[in-house]
Chain A
């Protein structure tokens, strides 16, 4: 049995390089996990969580289920390349094991047809079956490759209006990848032209080569050499290109299932997230900055790229700043990378001067009160500019006999989230400390807030010992439990999902339940995870009013399309955004409910 030829060297060198660089990188990254992340891994490493991790890795890494849900063709393209290639390798390995029961070098599985051109039915009875199966799999992969090439020319049918602008390294690696499968077909066909082996497709192409008259061992050797070089090149480039995501995603899924989260500093886990991005560009289409303003250099994929590539680091900050933080890309990302957290890591400005010598002396001292059944109500800064919301909440509290403490009715401080979003960590922490002191000091049993920004802050950034509710959740609870009797009026409304409440905290159903109880709720084209940002989010300090207005108008048009009587929202910020446009009736859910108490 002949089992070696010079042409396998590029392939073997590629595999070796891939192994060495991957292990080196992964080892370095795992070592730079922070203490909390390490502790989480240590605590959960022996749990059963690896089972869902395996399932998710299979579903997302090979089947690309989330992408398929976005667009069937796009999913097919990714799946045929990933799962198809995976099956080619696995079936090839099985074929080699069955054909050589006494062991073989690992490259034999890849170059099987070259080394085993004469299928001897005595030695290996399943040879024909495997040859045909491998051909079928190769067709599967090639169909995906064809789609990928088609997407390069016209991406619309695959559900993508815009695709990613790749770096040079990524483009070279892609070329290598694209060469692999046609070259494999050509190599096998060139062997088949001489020996008549192979499955239905290679034999057919072999006959064509034979007919042209180029079937000779030199041509065959050249083909196999090129195939090996393509493989070797791709493997060498893999650790330095976007194709690193193939393995990294599996690790990321595993760590995530173990319970590891990104922290507010760049860690090894962040590096895994950076590399798990396949740069598919799905984050670009949904981004309001692209949709309404045509800005296409700051979406998730480019932000990660700027953080990853050290030479582009100077761009990282301006890219990170120019974002509404509406989380649309987080909802769209098929790898579930926490893009907003990474963006915030870049935004950190701890060198900014911080002076709070005066303290918060203007705040009144909180007197603990009889806390039985008493809730604290935090309107939020923005609700102060929309007093319709706070006064409606007071009406509702009074209607159900709820004892409450309106903690920011007079003097008030911010929840801290707007500062945190801009990277002023210390300043935000100081505000959180003071608010926590006041809330705990009041001995209130629950905290209700009208502002989704504050709500996300209290829920995720504070460590309060009492439950936190947004007023839509609270009103929904009151109606459900029969404390608040409302009447249904004939108003037709559309609901605007605030980014911070919907994508930020997953509150989609409660506001809708409340609206259905008092009005007729109409559907719009972009709802829930796909809802459009109002443009006046506090996330982006660089947009001017005109740009914000454009983004707002797109959201408005979407909401006005079903011809509602009013637009309902649950965020003072969004309400202000829509109020600024002329002639749009907009109301907060609390206001609609307060007007319909029976």
Chain B
């Protein structure tokens, strides 16, 4: 191709059109992977119960807390933050909810558990803004603090939940034959989708993540938007804690312990940028189902927990590699 061809505005327009089409493809990336993994396991595990409605429902139920966390984390990532404290919030919120249920009714217990998320989110947000330190370090610190609190709260003991109202509503029950965990997943994903794609607030979140300077110049209250994003992320984790507690009829400090890596991998592979400015809720949901699918498939194939952890790590690195490569090209 000649130089004049490169400088031709028409050529440039076509080139940029091509690039934006490629970006479009990135959004669909998760769909391709999802179907590929599904087919792979369907063939490899054709003599098991893998490819059955019951198993898929089971996967959705198991991953519901992860999906809720993934939707929340997508908000933090949208503004360019990472939230490492979500796993620890799951444990503390579940424990607070379970302990409160021994004394008060479901509504108050739920309120108490969710306020764990609210407080952690506000503290994370204020610390990051006041100290002007990266969210990675601050939430790493708060993760440590909250993990310690959760372990100390009940002296490492599990707290059973016998309140059937609570367990029915938050995980074990069904409404018209639809598992409540599926309903929670759909509601949270639906709200997340509407906020990010239909509301002005969603535009502001992504604007802050895309270019904080530009957002500030356009009069967006960048600090406030960033704090809101961390509160959303943290409160979603608190809700995930309740979903775990409901499904397992009890809470334990280990809840959510291994979820952080899974959730980050799920969100990253779903097309949300780890550096802010681009977020995809449907991708986060599909990403978390993909992680559930892989987990389930690996278990049915006879792989151990250790090997599943390795697989999750590899997926995260692959997802990040794709994201970074695209950023350099974009």
Q: Do A and B bind each other?
A: no
Taking Cβ atoms with an 8 Å cutoff, the residues of A that contact B are: none
